[in-house]
Amino acid sequence: MARPSIVPIALTLDDRTGYTLWAPPWEEDGEEWQAFLGSTVDVPADLNDDDPEDGVTKAVVHLFPSPAALAAFCRTSTDHDLADHPVWPVVAGLDAGDLTPDEDHRFDLDGVYDVVAENPDRWAVDELAAVVDVVGRIAECCDTTDDEDDLLDDDETEFESVAELVARPEVAALPLGVQAFLGRTGEESWQRLGTAIDELWEDVLEELDDHLDWTGAGRVSTDDYPSAAEEAEARAAEPDDDEDDVDLVDEDDTARPAVAGAGAQRQPAGSTAAAPGVQTTGTRDIRGGSRLTASPAAVAAAQEFWEAVGILPVELVVPEGAGLTLRCYVEDRARFLGRDGQVFLFPSPVELARFCSSDERHDLTGIASWPEVADTDVLPLPADQDRYDLTVLAEVLREVVGGAGGLVQHEALEQPVEGVRDVAEYAGLARVEQLLTGDTPLGRAVARSESDPSAPLPASDAAVLASTWDEVVTEVSGVLRFRE
């Protein structure tokens, strides 16, 4: 069981996005807890149809229209369920940038119907798994059935539709990933999943919304929340008015430690959660040293082509700079756009596309789908999970050394390590593989990131990990060739 931590999240429901905090499960005094930033509120008697003489209380999750509004609440309020959380004193001092969720912790509840209408690729399955998981967790924390036995029968819950949805076998299969929905049997399971969503999702949202406080603990009104489209537009980088719909900018976006909190729910140690045990963290959206931004719609449209040809655009960021390349897997081994173990990097999608249409030979020339790549006019725009900023991890580790211990989890290693492993495999960097898998501090930390990704990175280890990671990045940088 991981030590206490806090993670900022965003929920989109009824065309508005609210920001709050989630405290992932941790153990304290032999009991398991998890929480959302929330409190218990009184429901007036006239809203209680069962007993008009007495009001009731219910647990709610506080939502705010922006990370800035969330940060302001955290700095000034102690009247909530997270005030006694072990790391709350640190969270209370964080600013809006620290409390802005990454892409893996943004949950679009409105978009579920669109997701199940798609083919079951890895993005659709992972997105749906994450949404169902967070809904189940909110239901766990806000369900006061055990405390209101006089109002509900023993076999009832305040979240009957949520319980029914997560009990469906096809929903329980979501944590298994896209493999559970491939082939004829998998396709049938995906269809049944869509049927379950059609039947239950509106009731699920109704149950959930009854426990979501869109007033920010009485500090804002619903009019303060921008529409989902306005919020997404504000987050997305504006593209230049060029033919490529891509914006190249200079960024200095330092990675920040993850934080958490909310309406707390205690669970007996060893109890089973109602929702499937989905890891909602997945891969990180890394943009620290990147110079590339593109609208989400442009990236999604481009991915259809690149997924079809089996060769994906990749961004690598090292201290020397950022660049784009292509990667595929041949017999489960990574192969990059390059030659003789050297990876070619290009400063923009346009220049990468121009190279692909040239006659220069490289290690992807022999791939069966390469002629389609050479002829396409679809820009090579990398998806978030294929962007690897190798400089961010060093910054994060130094933040841990500087006092962020307990706020950064081992999962911070996951995506950077994936990127360097692929490059090392392609270029034959035995030293990198030794550092990542051997009995070294970094090797042990990488193993921990795979077995227990939510475990915090201790400050005592971070300094050693930072120096070893610097050696890894130096090795990888040595085989990258920036091309014009």
Residue with tokens 């009001």: 55
Instruction: Name the band, by pLDDT with cuts 50, 70 and 90, for residue 176.
Output: confident
Contact call for residues 74 and 89 (beta carbons, < 8 A): no
Is 246 within a domain? no
The verdict on 260 and 387 lying in the same domain is no
CA atoms of 143 and 159, how far apart (whole Å): 7
Average pLDDT over residues 94-121: 90
Spatial neighbors of 247 by CB under 8 A, at least 6 apart, are 237, 238, 239, 240, 293, 294
Query: DSSP labels for 26-76?
Result: EEETTEEEEEESEEEEEEPGGG-SS-TTS-EEEEEEE-BSSHHHHHHHHHH
User: How far, in Å, are 7, 108, 110, 201, 268 from residue 114 at the CA level?
Assistant: 26, 10, 9, 12, 37
Q: Which of 278-282, 342-346, 374-378 has the lowest mean pLDDT?
A: 278-282
The verdict on 158 and 303 lying in the same domain is no
Query: DSSP labels for 444-472?
Result: HHHHHHHH-TTSBPPHHHHHHHHHHHHHH
The verdict on 355 and 404 lying in the same domain is yes
Average pLDDT over residues 416-427: 96
- Print the domain residue range for 472: 283-484
**What pLDDT is stored for residue 405 in this prediction?**
60
SS3 call for 143: coil
Average pLDDT over residues 310-315: 96
Reported as a single tens digit per residue, the pLDDT across 448-457 is 888 888 888 8
Across 59-63, 151-155, 267-271, the highest mean pLDDT is recorded for 59-63
The verdict on 204 and 292 lying in the same domain is no
**What pLDDT is stored for residue 415 in this prediction?**
92
Average pLDDT over residues 353-368: 94
Is 275 within a domain? no
Is 241 within a domain? no
Buried b vs exposed e over 456-471: b needs ≥16 C-beta within 10 Å?
A: bbebebbeebbebbbe
> Which helix (DSSP H) or strand (DSSP E) does residue 219 occupy?
none
Q: Higher confidence at residue 269 or residue 216?
A: 216
The verdict on 424 and 295 lying in the same domain is yes
The verdict on 171 and 313 lying in the same domain is no
**What pLDDT is stored for residue 258 in this prediction?**
36
Question: Is the pLDDT reported for residue 297 higher than 80?
Answer: no
Instruction: Name the band, by pLDDT with cuts 50, 70 and 90, for residue 230.
Output: confident
Is 79 within a domain? yes
The verdict on 261 and 296 lying in the same domain is no
Is 276 within a domain? no
SS3 call for 221: coil
The verdict on 345 and 314 lying in the same domain is yes
The verdict on 290 and 407 lying in the same domain is yes
Strand-pair partners of 346: 324
The verdict on 42 and 182 lying in the same domain is yes
The verdict on 186 and 323 lying in the same domain is no
Percentage of the chain surpassing pLDDT 70?
A: 81
The verdict on 325 and 450 lying in the same domain is yes
**What pLDDT is stored for residue 271 in this prediction?**
26
Average pLDDT over residues 143-159: 62
Is 243 within a domain? no
